[in-house]
Amino acid sequence: MNKININTVIIALAVILFAFIGKSAYKYKFKEAQTIAVTGLAEKDFDSDLIVWKGNYSRTGTDLKSVYAELKGNESTIRQYLVKKGINDKDIIFSAIDINKDFDTHTDENNRSYSVFSGYTLTQTVKVESNDVDKVEAVSREVTELIENDIAFTSAAPAYYYTKLAELKLDLLSKASADAKSRAESIAKNAGAGIGNLRTASMGIFQITGKNSNEDYSYGGTFNTSSRKKTASITMRSEYLVK
C-alpha cells in the first residue's frame, strides 16, 4: 500500500514538474515573440523642375504637295515664334507629319451611301521639353497668338515632372523609418516597456499627388503630372522586438 502511495506521489510530482517547465517555456517563447508593428509616414512638398508641353496644327487641301509645303511653312513660323519667346531651339522637337485622306459621304437616288475623295489632312505635333518651367508655361498660354499667322494651333495642357525623384525617395524612406521607430517607442513607453532590435521592415507605395489636392492614393502608386506643385509621400512598415 505504501509502495502504491509513493508511486502516486512520484507521478503527481512529475506531472507538476512537467507542467511548470512547459509553462515557463511557453512564457519565455511568448516573451521572445512579442513585437510591435507600426507604420511610419513621410511627406514632402516640392516644385517640378521639368515641363513637357505639346501642341499640334494641320493643313488641308486636294494637292498633297501644296499642303505639305504649307505645313512645312507653318513649322518654320512656329519654330521662329517659340525661339523669339525665349525657348531654346534644342528643346523644340517636331514630329513626323501624319497624312490622312479625307472622304465625303454622299447618298445616291437609291438611298445608297458612297464616299468621294475630298483631299488630304496633314497634321504635325511640336513638343517642348525644358527645365525653364516658367517660360514654357507662359508660352503654352500665349501660343494662340499664332492665329495671327493663320495657324490654327491647338495647345495641350503641360505635364510637369521632377528630375531628382531618386534622391527624394531615399530622403523620404529615411524619414519614414525614423517616424516608424518613434511611433514604436511611444507605444512601448506607454505600456511600460521598450523596443529592441528591428525585426522586419517593408516599404509601402511611393505616391506623388498635386499639392493641396484631393487626389486619392492608388494601390499601385499615384504619379501626378498635371500639377506643378506636388506632394510626395511614402510609408514604411516596421516591426520591433519588445524588451
Q: What is the pLDDT of residues 66-83, one digit of tens each?
A: 999 999 999 999 999 999
- The C-alpha cell of 200 is what? 522586419
Question: How confident is the prediction for the chain on average, in pLDDT?
Answer: 88
- The C-alpha cell of 88 is what? 531654346
Cα 178 to the chain's mean position, in Å? Answer: 23
Among 161, 181, 200, give the residue marking a domain's end.
161
How far is Cα 30 from Cα 26, in angstroms, rounded to an integer? 6
Residues 92 and 124 occupy one common structural domain: yes
The yes-or-no verdict on residue 124 having pLDDT over 80 is yes
pLDDT tens digits, 77-107 = 999 999 999 999 999 999 999 999 999 999 9
Domain that holds residue 134: 50-161
Residue 97: strand, helix, or coil:
coil
Residues 146 and 204 occupy one common structural domain: no
Residue 184's pLDDT band, with cuts at 50, 70 and 90, is: very high
Residues 83 and 157 occupy one common structural domain: yes
User: Residue 1's CB: how many other CB atoms inside 10 A?
Assistant: 5
What single-letter DSSP state applies at residue 220?
T
Q: Which helix (H) or strand (E) holds 202?
A: strand 195-203
Among 161, 179, 202, give the residue marking a domain's end.
161
pTM: 0.79
Residue 19's pLDDT band, with cuts at 50, 70 and 90, is: very low
Among 161, 192, 227, give the residue marking a domain's end.
161
Residues 216 and 127 occupy one common structural domain: no
Mean pLDDT over 196-221 rounds to 89
Residues 70 and 100 occupy one common structural domain: yes
